[in-house]
């Protein structure tokens, strides 16, 4: 299973980015394979928010364009939304504290 990061989606959709060609090719390759691909809702929402924001995106998409792109991804047979379970916070908290991770990245 491949879980797609929002930065890859943004680079693939932003022709002004120095990473555009590479991200777009990688994304197209991954989406065309039979391997399972997952999108988290937070990733979809971040893509919609950032790709349509003129302050964050050099050539922002219209909301209709962004929604169409997302709909095309979600329509693929190997793509699904990765939903958190009811125990998501419990598992997240347990993993976070057992690994002694911090928000500062240290």
Residue 47, burial from CB neighbour count under 10 angstroms (0-12, 13-18, 19+): buried
Question: Are 55 and 20 contacting, i.e. CB atoms less than 8 angstroms apart?
Answer: no
18-77 tens-digit pLDDT: 999 999 999 999 999 999 999 999 999 999 999 999 998 888 999 999 999 999 999 999
pLDDT value at residue 101: 53
Question: Facing residues of 79 across strands?
Answer: 37
Full-model pTM = 0.81
Separation CA 106–CA 87 (nearest Å):
26
pLDDT exceeds 90 at position 102: no
Pairing of the two strands 2-3 and 37-40: parallel
Pairing of the two strands 2-3 and 79-82: unpaired
- List for the chain the helix, strand, coil content (%; round to 5): 55, 10, 40
């Amino acid at each position: 299973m491949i879980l797609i990061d929002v930065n890859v989606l943004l680079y693939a959709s932003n022709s002004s980015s120095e990473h555009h060609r590479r991200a777009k090719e990688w994304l197209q390759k991954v989406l065309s394979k039979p391997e399972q691909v997952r999108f988290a809702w937070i990733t979809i929402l971040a893509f919609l928010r950032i790709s349509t924001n003129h302050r964050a995106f050099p050539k922002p998409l219209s909301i209709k364009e962004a929604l169409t792109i997302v709909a095309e991804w979600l329509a693929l047979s190997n793509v699904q939304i990765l939903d958190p379970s009811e125990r998501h916070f419990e598992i997240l908290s347990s993993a976070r504290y057992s690994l002694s991770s911090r928000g500062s990245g240290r």
